[in-house]
Structure 1
Amino acid sequence: MNAQKILPLVAVIATGGTIASKRGAEGASTPSLRGEDLLALVPQVNARLQPIDLMSKDSASLSLTDMQRISDTVRQQLDDPAIAGVVILHGTDAMEETALLVHLQHATDKPVVFTGAQFTADHPYADGPANLALAIEAATDEDNARRGVLVSFGGRLLPAWGVYKRSTDQPDAFRSARPIGHVESPHLSTPVAGVRIDIVAIYPGCDATHIQASLDAGADGIVLAALGSGNANTGIIEAVRRCADSGVPVIVSSRVPEGRLVASYGGGGGGHDLAVAGAIHSHTLRPSQARILLAALIAARSPAERISQAFSDCR
Structure 2
Amino acid sequence: MGVSIVTTGGTIASRPAPDGAVRVAVRGPELAVPGAAVRVHEMMLTHSFNLTRAEVLRLARRILAELRDPGVDGVVVTHGTDTMEETAYLVDLVLPPPCTVVFTGAQRHAGAPDADGPRNLADAVAVAAAPQARGMGALITMAGQVHAARYATKAHTLRPEAFASPGHGPVARVRDGRVEVGSPPTRTDGFRIDELGELEARVDVVPVYLDADGVQIAACRAAGARGLVLQALGTGNPTPGVLREIGACLREGIAVLVASRCAEGPATPVYGAGGGADLARAGAVFAGSLSAPRARLLLMAALAAEGGPEKALERIRPHLLP
Give the TM-score taking structure 1 as reference length: 0.91
Maintained 8 Å contact 2:203/2:300: yes
Structure 2: state its 5+ residue gaps: 172-183
Are 2:215 and 1:226 equivalent residues in the alignment?
no
Q: 2:314 aligns with which of 301, 306, 314?
A: 306
Are 2:243 and 1:250 equivalent residues in the alignment?
no
Change (3 A) 1:206 1:258: same
Maintained 8 Å contact 2:7/2:78: yes
Maintained 8 Å contact 1:111/1:141: no
Give the aligned residue type for 2:25.
S
Are 2:192 and 1:184 equivalent residues in the alignment?
no
Residue in 1 aligned with 2:219?
213
Residue in 2 aligned with 1:283?
288
Aligned mates of 1:67, 1:258 — CA distance in 2:
27
Aligned-pair CA distance for 1:173: 1.0
Aligned-pair CA distance for 1:15: 0.7
Residue in 2 aligned with 1:155?
144
Are 2:27 and 1:34 equivalent residues in the alignment?
yes
Change (3 A) 1:263 1:307: farther
Aligned-pair CA distance for 1:108: 3.4
Maintained 8 Å contact 1:161/1:183: no
The residue matched to 1:300 in structure 2 has which SS? helix
Aligned mates of 1:19, 1:208 — CA distance in 2:
39
Aligned mates of 1:129, 1:49 — CA distance in 2:
18
Cα displacement string for residues 115-141 of structure 1 (whole angstroms, at most 9, x for unaligned residues): 111111112221110000000000111
Q: 1:60 aligns with which of 35, 49, 52?
A: 49
Aligned-pair CA distance for 1:155: 0.7
Cα displacement string for residues 170-216 of structure 1 (whole angstroms, at most 9, x for unaligned residues): 10111124463223223112224323211111111111111111111
Within 5 Å, which residues of 2 pair with 1:263-274? 263-268=269-274, 270-274=275-279
The residue matched to 1:256 in structure 2 has which SS? coil
Worse-superposed segment, 171-180 or 140-149: 171-180
Aligned-pair CA distance for 1:21: 0.8
Q: 1:87 aligns with which of 57, 76, 80?
A: 76
Change (3 A) 1:310 1:55: same
Aligned mates of 2:316, 2:245 — CA distance in 1:
19
Aligned mates of 2:46, 2:313 — CA distance in 1:
37
Aligned mates of 2:314, 2:41 — CA distance in 1:
36
Change (3 A) 1:298 1:304: closer
Within 5 Å, which residues of 2 pair with 1:4-23? 8-23=1-16
The residue matched to 1:223 in structure 2 has which SS? strand
Q: 2:297 aligns with which of 292, 295, 301?
A: 292
Residue in 2 aligned with 1:140?
129
Maintained 8 Å contact 2:205/2:228: yes
The residue matched to 1:288 in structure 2 has which SS? helix
Within 5 Å, which residues of 2 pair with 1:160-179? 160-177=149-166, 178=168
Give the aligned residue type for 1:183.
T
Aligned mates of 1:144, 1:216 — CA distance in 2:
45
Q: Tell me the C-alpha RMSD between the 2 structures.
A: 1.7
Give the aligned residue type for 2:86.
E
Give the aligned residue type for 1:34.
R
The structure with higher relative contact order (CA 8 Å, sep 6+) is 1
Structure 1: state its 5+ residue gaps: 1-7
The residue matched to 2:296 in structure 1 has which SS? helix
Aligned mates of 1:273, 1:243 — CA distance in 2:
14
Maintained 8 Å contact 1:64/1:194: no
Aligned mates of 1:35, 1:52 — CA distance in 2:
7
Cα displacement string for residues 140-174 of structure 1 (whole angstroms, at most 9, x for unaligned residues): 11221221111111110111112111110110111
Matched residues, number: 302
Aligned mates of 2:5, 2:297 — CA distance in 1:
23
Aligned mates of 1:265, 1:293 — CA distance in 2:
26
Aligned mates of 1:194, 1:182 — CA distance in 2:
29
The residue matched to 2:56 in structure 1 has which SS? helix
